[in-house]
Structure 1
Amino acid sequence: MSALRAGERKAVLALGSNLGDRAREIDTAVSELSGTDGIRLLAFSPIVETRAVKVHGVDEFAPRYLNAVAVVATTLAPEQLLHQVNRIEADHGRVRDERWGDRTLDIDIVCHGDIVSDAPQLTLPHPRAAGRDFVLAPWLAADPDAELPGIGRVDELLAGIEDTTRPWTPGGAR
């Protein structure tokens, strides 16, 4: 992974999609992120497939998610980065009718440097990242030395929860 340049912070973005051409949604979003001023891609994880998690728990009848993690260098403040990821989600047809509902594209900011924030529009680090295998497993694949600020090493966090992710390959069984 390349080093940070002056004025940059490392941020981790979790991407997910369970509607439409899931892999294309994620790949296109990563390209759009990379093409955004103030964002530089450092690493991108392999894509994994997971069951849909809803407010009530796992929904075996909902379309499965593809998930990945992008590690980026950014000069954007957290709120500016949030604005950019929300713009990209909207461009991909993201609607927010149902909490944790099915979606064409979801991009969560997992962490932004070592910033800790409880702002109403953005909590950092992401409050549920430490218990989400679909975030931790791809993140660890992209950055084996990853650490969730103020919480712990990603490898140790993942070892403490059930990892239900499975590798995804284009054209493979779904």
Structure 2
Amino acid sequence: MTVAYIGLGANLGDARQSLKDAIVCLAQHAGITITGRSELYRSAPVDASGDDYLNCAVALDTTLSARQLLALCLSIEQHFGRERSYKNAPRTLDLDLLLYGEACIDEPDLVVPHPRLAGRAFVLLPLADLRADLEIPGIGRVADLLPGVADQRIERMASCCCPTKRNGAS
């Protein structure tokens, strides 16, 4: 089993429901066990236009390879009507493979750790919910990166979107 982290975001349609349903899709896939989920956050778009995003993250144990997990994420996005009309376009659902064990992968269509995660509050705060002491290979601890994104507009929502309880409890 490999521990992986997926970041989820949406800003079109019923974003909260899309995030919840996407987590269910992940959890129902053979070879994946959701072990934790973050709180739900509302954040301003970064390098994009459109409405605010809702974001969260999940931790999972998986027997899938990084490439298989990425393919599953892309398939779920497509199922939810994700269109890639231009870079950073508003989206019905975005699933990003943030971390895959301690792997560092640098291929044209797969980069892990996610190349922009260290500079985005909407990624770091949900990861900190899951595990603040998490070490991002080649970058540093999540908790140590949080001051660098303190100027980004983000707020924790009153209730969580995710169907499983925090830290892996069901």
The answer to whether structure 1 residue 149 and structure 2 residue 137 are counterparts is yes
Identify which of 31, 50, 65 aligns with 1:77.
65
State the partner residue of 1:4: none
Aligned positions, number: 158
State the partner residue of 1:166: 155
State the alpha-carbon separation in 1 of the partners of residues 110 and 141 from structure 2.
Answer: 22
Aligned alpha-carbon RMSD (Å): 1.2
State the partner residue of 1:48: 41
Q: Is the 8 A contact 1:41 1:71 kept in 2?
A: yes
Identify which of 96, 100, 104 aligns with 1:112.
100
- Distance apart, 1:169 and its partner CA: 3.0
- Distance apart, 1:99 and its partner CA: 0.6
More helix per residue? 2
Q: Is the 8 A contact 2:42 2:155 kept in 1?
A: yes
State the alpha-carbon separation in 2 of the partners of residues 143 and 117 from structure 1.
Answer: 22
**DSSP 3-state at the match of 2:6:** strand
Deviations 1:44-101 (A, max 9, x none): 000000011235xxx4xx1110000111111111100011000100000001111111
State the alpha-carbon separation in 2 of the partners of residues 29 and 21 from structure 1.
Answer: 12
Structure number with greater CO (CA < 8 Å, separation at least 6) is 2
State the partner residue of 2:83: 95
Structure 1, unpaired ranges of 5+: 1-7
Q: One-letter code of the match for 1:168?
A: M
- Indicate the percent of aligned positions where both proteins have the same amino acid: 37
Q: Is the 8 A contact 2:37 2:56 kept in 1?
A: yes
- Distance apart, 1:144 and its partner CA: 2.7
Q: What's the TM-score once normalised by structure 1's chain length?
A: 0.87
State the partner residue of 1:132: 120
